[in-house]
Amino acid sequence: GPLRGRQALLVHAEEPVAERVACALMAALRLLGLAVVAAPGGGTGVAAWGPLPWLHAQHHRALRDGDTIILL
């Protein structure tokens, strides 16, 4: 697909509706060749230790590696 070899981090709310939408979006993006990793963005998820430092670190990594961050 047109996105083959690209990577993305999909951060979503820990709510059933957001999780369903994230799964559907991941499936569609993977069909286009994008490697997608999903992570819940609150509670006990990846941002539990503080959303601003975590987002800053992810933003820096994405800029460095040319990846994409999708916030849902």
Domain locations in the chain as residue ranges: 7-71
| 3-class secondary structure, 72 | coil
Q: How confident is the model at residue 40 (pLDDT cuts 50, 70, 90)?
A: confident
pLDDT of residue 20: 93
The residues that bridge with 8 in the sheet, in sequence order, are 36, 68
Contact criterion met (CB below 8 Å) for 12 and 41: yes
pLDDT at 22 over 80: yes
Q: How confident is the model at residue 38 (pLDDT cuts 50, 70, 90)?
A: confident
The pTM assigned to this predicted structure is: 0.68
The residues that bridge with 21 in the sheet, in sequence order, are none
Please, what is the average pLDDT of the chain?
Answer: 80
Contact criterion met (CB below 8 Å) for 18 and 48: no
Burial label, 10 (beta-carbon count in 10 A; 0-12, 13-18, 19+): buried
